[in-house]
Structure 1
């Protein structure tokens, strides 16, 4: 049998016996009050053993009393009704006492068990649990709080909670929240989840999630705070946010690459795609100024700015812009020159600390900090450089470097396409020049000689009929010679001389007036020499196409062919005062316009067709690079 069982019932058996032995000598003096002496016995038995031992001690108390102390003594016969009533009342009271003591004992045991469970839960909780009174003094400090804050419970108890838990800036707010609840019964600090900064014993700060709840008991209020260390969660959230930002950034850059690829396929000139590229890249990041360096035609080792972009603050970057546009770079000089020479990215995070930029440098004066140069490549050849400036210090961005490599390859294909067009045009022109040379110098000279010989023979013939035949032969040879010369001029309409374009355009104006009856004049205030004959031929063909379209379709009263040098480069303009391109074409394009654009692209020029202010149409062709120098083109923000 269990030991506890024997102890409980053994005590219930011994207590009535001991009480009887103690009372027996004084039984004559106590008489009717003897049963009252057994009440403590029943209470002790019930308190120690519960209901069963209490009932056992009650029964034994009744048996001992009736046998030893009620008349007749030493007999279980009870003659007095009063004695029976006393025994019944005692038994009932003793039963109630046993029952109440048992219930109380069970309640106390349940309370102890519950308290122990709560203690175990609190001690084993993953959160730090800190309880404190209405004054904020700590009354409970669980093991997790010890580990989390590095402070043993012996040192924490009785200390100010706000002082141990939070750094100085947050303590006053925490104490004020508790005070508000104590005074008014409400506070924004309690009963809600908060993310705060806690402090360890070492002074290290870390993020915690805090919930503070009030506990009302015994006419007062206390508080319990549950603090969870969210360092790992915050780190994961930060990493997720960083990954999300990185994903958004890469999506943005991929969208940019897609747009640049599409624009590269649609661009008519390299200047257009370069302008689009630097503007979009500046808009996507912190760059405020950018330009594209291309090698000069005559001096491939010298870089000159071709296209540039800057923020709307023109006054601030006036000197900056002037300096960047007026400084040709040698290969290997400056960030752009080094990128051109090496074919790799040059990135200076802070030009104020790096070599090559002094305090008087206009870039430094304008507030520039970071400069990055990205090469434009075709295969293993570097054919241009992007250079970007920022007012902020930008760390080296590997994603941007990789994407700019892709952009550089796409733009390199545009330049390569232009090169192929120029090569094709030069090959065609060379073939045409050879044909024209053969027609003029070969067949033309042969016909000229035959003409002189025919004329000499005609002069010797005296017979009228034969002389007439000889004259007709001479005239036929002259007409054939004129046709050959016309073919030669059609194949190569511009003489291979510096002023050949001016002469050819003047002849075009005269022939247009004679052919169509429309007044056409050539306007060239100052001499414009084009040394490269292929470029001159393309410009002539553009002017010829524009003049022919105007004379045939615009019904103009006059046509003007203009040729001059401007700040933008060599400018060719054909203007008429007719009905306008939209009215005569019904659309903005046509085969003639496509041919003009093709020829402009072949020589790296830009072509615009627009309505004139007073009516009519204006066709403008701007050649930024006239074989010797580059005229930078601005990209508007």
Structure 2
């Protein structure tokens, strides 16, 4: 019979003492072996995680064998190298360390080899990338195995920290800029805590308030605020602390250490903590004391100007650059009968104060101002709200912006209606006196001289020899006196104009200049000539007379030119020019206005005309009078 096999139970019972024997040989139980196995598995998994983690590498290096036991590929790959590629370079790993960091790298390497009690060594250095540039790394390393001869191997962890270093560098630069901005800011800066105590103050605010920094840091914001505005400041600070919306800028008053008040513009902001709660507040203070003083002075001046304008006896209007009415004073409202609210914003030509015939010349004067004319003047017939015609002497001046463009136009108007009536009366009386003197010369002295001439002629016929010659010379002188008297009487009397018309009167002036003064004088008149009323003809004739007399008597002219022509369908031009030396000053007027020039201007105004004088030194004088035509 075959020998029976031992039962299974006995086999198992026979093996257990052997397992216990092995565990006893290892010095641990089976359960402890299982626990150790699980730890090994976990460590293996952790090693794989460390070896495969991006931007970091785990390594084990054998110094005796001069080779990596673990992690060579990962450490080299951090910098773009293959495993073993760095070791082939001259100086190996030392060749890729930044020159400025070699000392730190060498020192850390030496400390690891010395053991240093197994302590972890840390270094922060730059390592050259294969493709150029450097990576910042943070390396932690410590001895792993050692014997009596020294360190056998080291274990370490390398992390790429370039983004962190760059962020730190940017943070330091930002902090430096903020510090410089805080310290060198020309505006005062106060930083305060949740109780409104000052915790930081820059030099500008210390100088502004007259405190030493150490003294100012013992005060609160309200301590340096003027008493009268502390309530408003406290409200601003509480609003800032509660994160409520605060004004971007507010004006307030601070008080210096010496008690002097400082006007400031405050910009407020706050710094929040991690939980977005209030951490600190900041006040940026700009000294506006001088600005406030200037504003106060400007306001006083503005108020004074307003009083002067509103109480001025002349009409004053302020126009925009396009001719819109911005403001008129009380005198203008009273003169024309229109209130400011009725005309404000309207074009000055849309307000019914000027007739159609005046709008064109008014626009021309306005254009002259916009093109750089200093000021323009004119006497304008204008209508009031009630329909009454008033004659206004206006003077307009442009107010320019800093860039030279027009900002506003200021127009003043003086009612000269009554003065104009007096001028008309004076001219009428003067004209009548001229006529009377002319008639007296013609009918009185002229007739007497004619009688004397007849007697001398009769006496001459009865004498002989030298006496007859003397009588003949007397006869010639008397005839010359008769001719001069006739010329004077014709010049004083408007009969030349009444009988011949304006064109004939101007031709007579030219003929008189040629015959009596032996000067060259031409007269050019449009065919048909400009048509004006009889009164205007007399005034234009007198203007031409005065201009010619001035050219001969004061200018010493040898050539004169008189012209009468049409300028447009509504206006004509009388032009008298000469070749005299011009005015000594080279200006458009003599250094002092004579009565003759003022009378010419008055006559031009009386016919709603405009008189102009033009001259260049050494090139004569030109007198022009633009006048309205008589409409059919």
TM-score, scaled to structure 1? 0.37
Q: Which has the higher contact order (CA 8 A, sep 6+)?
A: 1
Per residue, is there more helix in 1 or in 2? Answer: 1
TM-score, scaled to structure 2? 0.37
Per residue, is there more strand in 1 or in 2? Answer: 2
